[in-house]
Structure 1
């Protein structure tokens, strides 16, 4: 596996300084969330992007693109508009953002871009939402393929696609396109109940997802509350998580997503290093 960290957990750091901190700690992957604080695709361009690419290359780091910025499209509505909107213009705005992220990713050398379905707008039937989602994803696949980027659909609690099973059903309905797979957030598996403290449940869902796995997210979770916590502050048994991941034929990014811990990012990064020394390269 390639250990990474999401830039949304470093929101109070300049991106070049965030990369330096992660590289010094031994992280191999920058999971970049383009946002108002880091390479906003509406306010930055290829010249600045190439500078970040040079810095990543200097440290031998890879990059994956995450598209979960909260208010980048609407300062008053979190994660809106999305691909399920009643308004075609709203769906178009989300597609435009995702296409800009693909363009950014191609400059940074990213091979994976993760995205979620979005919440179902009021009055939109689930089947219609799935139709719109599939239509949007087909358009993105056409844009991603020539850039050498694969799309990773992330099941997200509370959204139209919440579980790995639902995501796999959607991919199957699209003909399992080679340019698309899964981003699995370990914490989300426990929130939705796909995994539980019961032995074997986590391992079973990861084994089922493995052939399509392109990206993994990590954080701690307490109970079934959707609140990303630093490791050790929730209920997840990380020894079990590492063992389950090592059992898979998967060698891609495994990225901590601590979006609520930016105020103490340096401490949390060093704490991860102290808690899990064996998962870092050279250990």
Structure 2
């Protein structure tokens, strides 16, 4: 796609230069991840989110939606850009598909694999994701480090991660799209402190940013989720959100975990962050339309409570109710 036909870009703060639907009492902009809508065709998923009133979508590049490895990616991306514009949806590109590169290894190969050819496959996917993001006008490309392979010492793993990310960051700089690395429980880069170790190792490149998953903050950070938001603010390029419990890495519908959301959203609004805050429920795709429908009102009520603490807190547990006839299979 030529630069002239690209969708309007968001700057590094996430601020878009195309019209936005105003939300009363909050500047936050909510999206829903397509990895929680994998039973729907992509066009149907986007139409659903637009109908429900979401501001955007977290688009996971995968075989069931926008397959990054199938022929005709540029043409398919061009059509998708037009569809997003028609629906008024902004987008961030996510790269957490489980089996997009290897049908037998979840999230494999990673940036930490011992085999340099395998690492190169992941680098190639991320570089392709950067180009897709540029062509869609996405505000960031999300990625994560991966698990440290058995038998690999920590110093070697960090060296591999830095070396693998250098060409991706070069692509991000060329496309002017931030690369937003996500601290992921159990991965080499698991915490905010680990993110800063990576920044120092790489020399704090301009296009290296942070994906903050609010549930992960509850799961393992020493700070509260709201304090994590404040600490992460200067590097924040993408936000994922769901409920979670302390010490248990399980993405939960709002109300099923332990997070107090109004202070989190108040902190996020106070940072001036204008990118998407994307609901991340990949294991609830069997009832994706239900959870998409119930998640947005919950977040908007929590945001209104954050803006006006004298109001009532959002109901606890509403979105977790399983719709009639649904299955967890």
Q: TM-score if structure 2 supplies the norm length?
A: 0.80
Q: 1:74 to 1:233 in 2, by over 3 A?
A: same
Gaps of 5+ in 2: 1-27, 308-329
Does residue 15 of structure 1 match 2:42? yes
In structure 2, the residue matched to 1:60 is 88
In structure 2, the residue matched to 1:72 is 100
SS in 2 for 1:231: coil
What is the Cα-based RMSD across aligned positions, in Å?
1.6
Match of 2:152 among 124, 138, 162: 124
Does residue 276 of structure 1 match 2:299? yes
SS in 1 for 2:234: helix
Query: Are the equivalent residues in 1 in contact too, given 2:229–2:264 (CA < 8 A)?
Result: no
**TM-superposed deviation, 1:60:** 1.9
Q: 1:254 to 1:39 in 2, by over 3 A?
A: same
Report the Cα distance in structure 2 between the residues aligned to 1:261 and 1:26, rounded to whole angstroms.
20
Stretches of 4+ moved more than 6 A in 1? none
Tell me the number of residue pairs that the alignment of Structure 1 and Structure 2 aligns: 276
Gaps of 5+ in 1: 196-200
Equivalence map 1:1-283=2 (5 Å): 1-44=28-71, 45-195=73-223, 201-278=224-301, 279=303
Report the Cα distance in structure 2 between the residues aligned to 1:47 and 1:166, rounded to whole angstroms.
38
Q: TM-score if structure 1 supplies the norm length?
A: 0.93
Spell out, residue by residue over 1:173-194, the C-alpha distance to the aligned partner (whole angstroms, 9 max, x if none): 2121111110010111121133
Report the Cα distance in structure 2 between the residues aligned to 1:107 and 1:193, rounded to whole angstroms.
35
SS in 1 for 2:247: coil
In structure 2, the residue matched to 1:198 is none
Query: Are the equivalent residues in 2 in contact too, given 1:111–1:148 (CA < 8 A)?
Result: no
Report the Cα distance in structure 2 between the residues aligned to 1:47 and 1:204, rounded to whole angstroms.
43
Report the Cα distance in structure 2 between the residues aligned to 1:206 and 1:251, rounded to whole angstroms.
13
Report the Cα distance in structure 2 between the residues aligned to 1:122 and 1:276, rounded to whole angstroms.
40
**TM-superposed deviation, 1:273:** 2.9
Report the Cα distance in structure 2 between the residues aligned to 1:83 and 1:40, rounded to whole angstroms.
20
**TM-superposed deviation, 1:249:** 2.8
Report the Cα distance in structure 2 between the residues aligned to 1:158 and 1:277, rounded to whole angstroms.
31
